[in-house]
């Protein structure tokens, strides 16, 4: 059987995701779909607006046959680390033939050409990059300008979020010599648009509507078969989840962390630790803190990820260590289609690392590295639960008490 893999966040699952999944499955001539999905936090450094079990159920209702969790160590990292962690998990699952991803560009050949240049940076590339960074450009802007200077490829390919991730997926497939074939689907709609007015609304627009308690309009842009899932989470108060709720925890963490400790946190570079610590004297909302810390050189998403890394105590050395292990410590199943349970049997048989379906059995299945990664996942889930609007649902250890999602 031919199996399609998709790397995603589904934050939340919307009409554009449904279109992409159906189109990719048809284009790949696939019999089944494996989704690897971020858990409690996403690549922008934000808490997922709905918990991972709700989002898993939405995916399974709309064409996914198996949902695996991307560990927070990779899920809340920069694009390169996000892609490498996800591609490696799909590769080591042993059951995926094709990786499909959305892109604004839609031209796989051009994306592959750009990925090859970026994966093998020449001395000239690095020299120009250093010059532009010295002039104050952000890393993404500098890299895009160098790419256009040294090739015939339009720099716009490095300005669109889905193209950027697509390039990193292609680089990761090559880095791990993965047998998985890439496939891209041209994205419909604007990833960054905050408008719900036309076509395929972006996840950003849906989240904005939910922030403004406009769930009725938001639901018009989500598949009808997910409305019960989302409405239940909203009505009982396990959603929506936003950064501001976590500000007291972040303030406590910053007040008890030294400059030297901050320097070890993932993605903290070039004196950012000083700006971050100085922010706690006057910034009590998340937006205030973001405005205080961010500069022209450092993107909002990078700062958000750093603040999350501080909360979770994710160190740069830790990310590097897990990326370079001989194999992934484990692959965790969040849910599957009951009618396609054969895919779970295939995963268990062919995966190159332990498969977790019941976390209570983890001590018997995992080595020290696996238990350490799982402990971080538990911390992330507990932190996410603390941000639920309704305090009666903020219980710890939900990774161990919530069952697999089986539909």
Which pLDDT does position 195 carry in this prediction? 63
Which pLDDT does position 297 carry in this prediction? 79
As for how many domains the chain has, the answer is: 3
357 belongs to a structural domain: yes
CATH value at residue 233:
3.40.50.620
Q: Which residues pair with 333 in a beta bridge?
A: 68
Per-residue b/e over 42-76, b at no fewer than 16 CB within 10 Å?
A: bbbbbbbbbbbbbbbbbbbbbbbbbbbbbbbbbbb
249 belongs to a structural domain: yes
Question: To the nearest whole percent, how much of the chain has pLDDT over 70?
Answer: 97
Query: Is pLDDT above 60 for 191?
Result: no
Domain range for 55 is 3-104+163-239+327-406
Question: To the nearest whole percent, how much of the chain has pLDDT over 90?
Answer: 83
- Shared domain for 144 and 179, answered yes or no, is no
pLDDT digits (tens, 9 = 90+) for 116-140: 999 998 999 999 999 999 998 888 8
- Shared domain for 74 and 217, answered yes or no, is yes
Please state whether 225 falls in left (phi above 0), alpha (psi between -120 and 50) or beta: alpha
Average pLDDT of the residues in 251-262: 96
> What is the bridge-based pairing of β-strands 355-356 and 98-103?
unpaired
pLDDT digits (tens, 9 = 90+) for 348-378: 999 999 999 999 999 999 999 999 999 999 9
- More confident call, 297 vs 399: 399
pLDDT digits (tens, 9 = 90+) for 17-59: 999 999 999 999 999 999 999 999 999 999 999 999 999 999 9
110 belongs to a structural domain: no
280 belongs to a structural domain: yes
- Shared domain for 231 and 359, answered yes or no, is yes
- Shared domain for 100 and 170, answered yes or no, is yes
235 belongs to a structural domain: yes
Poorest-pLDDT segment among 9-13, 43-47, 156-160, 321-325: 156-160
- Shared domain for 274 and 199, answered yes or no, is no
- Which of 267, 298, 320 marks a domain boundary? 320
Name the token pair of 136: 């104050």
251 belongs to a structural domain: yes
- Which of 260, 287, 320 marks a domain boundary? 320
């Amino acid at each position: 059987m031919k199996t399609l893999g998709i790397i995603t966040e589904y934050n939340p699952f919307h009409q554009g995701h449904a279109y992409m999944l159906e189109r990719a499955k048809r284009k790949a001539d696939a019999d089944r779909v494996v989704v690897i999905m971020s858990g409690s936090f996403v690549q922008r450094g934000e808490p997922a607006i709905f918990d991972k079990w709700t989002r898993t159920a939405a995916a399974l209702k709309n064409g996914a046959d198996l949902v695996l969790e991307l560990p927070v160590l990779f899920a809340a990292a920069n694009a390169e680390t996000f892609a490498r962690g996800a591609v490696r998990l799909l590769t080591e699952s042993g059951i995926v033939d094709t990786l499909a991803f959305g892109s604004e560009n839609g031209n796989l050949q051009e994306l592959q050409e750009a990925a090859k240049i970026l994966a093998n940076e020449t001395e000239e590339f690095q020299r120009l990059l250093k010059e532009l960074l010295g002039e104050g450009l952000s890393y993404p802007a500098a890299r895009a300008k160098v790419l256009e200077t040294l090739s015939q490829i339009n720099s716009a390919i490095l300005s669109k979020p889905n193209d950027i991730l697509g390039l990193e997926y292609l680089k990761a497939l090559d880095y791990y010599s993965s047998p998985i074939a890439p496939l891209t689907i041209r994205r419909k709609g604007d990833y960054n648009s905050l408008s719900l007015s036309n076509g395929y609304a972006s996840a950003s627009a849906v989240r904005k509507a939910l922030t403004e308690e406009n769930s009725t309009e938001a639901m018009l842009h989500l598949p009808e078969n997910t409305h019960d899932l989302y409405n239940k989470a909203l009505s009982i108060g396990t959603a929506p989840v936003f950064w501001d709720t976590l500000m007291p925890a972040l303030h406590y963490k910053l007040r008890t962390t030294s400059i030297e400790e901050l320097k070890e946190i993932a993605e903290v570079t070039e004196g950012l630790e000083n700006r971050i610590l100085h922010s706690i004297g006057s910034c009590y909302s998340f937006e205030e803190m973001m405005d205080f810390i961010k500069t022209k050189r450092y993107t909002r998403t990078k700062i958000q990820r750093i603040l999350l890394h501080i909360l979770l105590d994710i160190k740069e050395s830790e990310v590097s260590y897990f990326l370079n292990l001989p194999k992934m410590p484990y692959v965790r199943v969040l849910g599957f289609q009951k009618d396609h349970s054969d895919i779970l049997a295939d995963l268990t048989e062919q995966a190159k690392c332990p498969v977790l379906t019941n976390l209570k059995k983890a001590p018997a299945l995992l080595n020290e590295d696996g238990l350490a990664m799982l402990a971080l996942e538990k911390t992330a889930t507990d932190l996410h639960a603390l941000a639920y609007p309704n305090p009666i649902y903020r219980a710890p250890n939900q990774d161990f008490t919530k069952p697999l999602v089986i539909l």
